[in-house]
Amino acid sequence: MSQERLIVACDFGTTSFRAVICEVDDGGSVTIIGHSEHKCAGFLDGDFIDLKTGSRAIAATVSALEKSTDTFVTGFTYNISGSHLRSVRSMAQVPIGPGPRPIREGDLEEVRQRVRSLAIPFDHKILSVTPVEYVVDRVRGIVDPVGRVGSQLEMHAHLITGSRTVLHNIENAVETSGYQPLGEEVDVLAAAAGLLALPEKEAGVMLIDIGGTATNWVVFAQGTVQANGMVPLGGHHLTQDLAHGLRISCEEAEDAKRERGVVLRSLVDEVPVEVLFEEELPKETPGLLAAILEPRFEEILALVKQDYGDMGQLARLQAGVVLTGGGSRPRGAAQLCEEVFDLPATTRYLPPALAGAESLPQGQWATAIGLSLGAAADAVELDALQAPLGGGGIIHRIRNLFRGGKRNREALSAKA
């Protein structure tokens, strides 16, 4: 294995920190070669609220990865999540010339620059700019305007911004843990990169990631991001409801949810909800679990639908809804989602064909995988740009920007 071809990504989740290490070949194909997971600590709503505890948990996650794969990690890419994220639509125009002429790459670059100059709060940083459509002389829906004749180019884009202080805090936690922060990506976009195929994004699809204390969603249509958002409820709230309803501890409720959880009452023996209000401790049955879990799960999905708000566009999402995140694991999740959205729905946790993915244990690896795929694509793209300049190729690029190397203990001791 060549030491320059390794990429490391870490998903800071509200339940767990999960890291993966991948190998990238010359063509940009990615193979997962290792993973590690550690309980989330010092991290709440996308921010490190306890730097010491948080950075220790990061160090424990990544050093376990180093140990299990016998690698030496210098830094990694990670996800950005939480209620500090904001989404906005931006629009910019550039005149093309005194008269109509074919649009050039330079015009496209200029309109892209202008679209970023939208007034955003001074304490926010732009994390992602996705073109929604180009308009040339009032002709809408243009995907690539270069070469088209026109006299005015307009770009509509979806921007996601994040609080500078939170971003700085996360960088600080990564550095304190002893690693270099090497790149960041919005959580739900990373999960989408790991899970959704281009034909689905073109047909129209909503991805809903039900995590621990939050549910993030994103809608794609015409191959590009249309909208995204967050609802502050997740699997943790289902556990709390069970603990409350069954009068058991949160640990017992978590086990019951994972082992026997059902979120659709019609799949099991239906139990009237009034049973929960009886003096006598209710007897736990699948029906009773469903009676407690269904309303909360339905509430999460209904809030996502309301947060998106565009019912016209929603009805046109031909590829339906894809559910992911540990919170979507209970039985009946996809069926209940179909009822709420009146669209086909499915659950998905891993990309359909990714080498090495079969070695991952059950869990939410899609975000870390998506981060790795993004980093690999960046590396390959830069490699292609550097090649004509004699820039050393993908191996050179990955060595300089990305983070893992096979630890060569013999070489190190020989040096000493």
Ligand X SMILES: Nc1ncnc2c1ncn2[C@@H]1O[C@H](COP(=O)(O)OP(=O)(O)OP(=O)(O)O)[C@@H](O)[C@H]1O
Name the binder of 254 from ligand X, Mg ion, none, CB < 5-8 A by kind.
ligand X
Query: Which of the 8 DSSP states describes residue 290?
Result: H
Residues 34-53 touching Mg ion, rule: CB under 5 A, are none
With contacts defined by CB under 6 A, how many residues of the chain interact with ligand X? 24
Tell me the closest approach of the beta carbon of residue 46 to ligand X, in angstroms.
7
CA distances to 101, 183, 308, 347 from 335, rounded to whole Å, are 52, 37, 20, 10
Q: Of these, 36, 69, 90, 239, which contacts ligand X (CB under 6 A)? A: 239
Q: Can you read off the two tokens belonging to residue 65?
A: 């990865």
Q: Of these, 38, 329, 397, 403, which contacts ligand X (CB under 6 A)? A: 329
Name the binder of 69 from Mg ion, ligand X, none, CB < 5-8 A by kind.
none
Name the binder of 177 from ligand X, Mg ion, none, CB < 5-8 A by kind.
none
Stretch of 10-18, 128-136, 229-237, 354-362 lying at the interface with Mg ion (CB under 5 A)? 10-18
With contacts defined by CB under 5 A, how many residues of the chain interact with Mg ion? 2
Short-list 162, 78, 86, 168, CA closest to 125: 162
Residue 85 or 103: the one with the smaller Cβ distance to Mg ion is 85
325 binds ligand X (CB under 6 A): yes
Residues 179-218 touching ligand X, rule: CB under 6 A, are 209, 211-214
Calpha distance 227→272 (Å, rounded): 38
Tell me the closest approach of the beta carbon of residue 183 to ligand X, in angstroms.
18
Tokens 């550097």 sit on residue: 386
CA distances to 17, 36, 250, 262, 270 from 287, rounded to whole Å, are 33, 36, 19, 8, 5
x-marked contacts with ligand X along 245-264 as a string, rule CB under 6 A:
---------x--xx--x---
Q: Can you read off the two tokens belonging to residue 323?
A: 């559910």
At residue 410, what is the residue type?
A: E
Q: 60 in helix, strand or coil?
A: helix
Q: Report the greatest alpha carbon distance in the chain.
A: 82
Stretch of 164-172, 210-218, 280-288, 296-304 lying at the interface with Mg ion (CB under 5 A)? 210-218
Give the number of C-alpha atoms closer than 13 A to the C-alpha of residue 354, restricted to the C-beta side.
Answer: 26
Calpha distance 240→222 (Å, rounded): 39
Residues in the site for Mg ion, rule: CB under 5 A?
13, 211
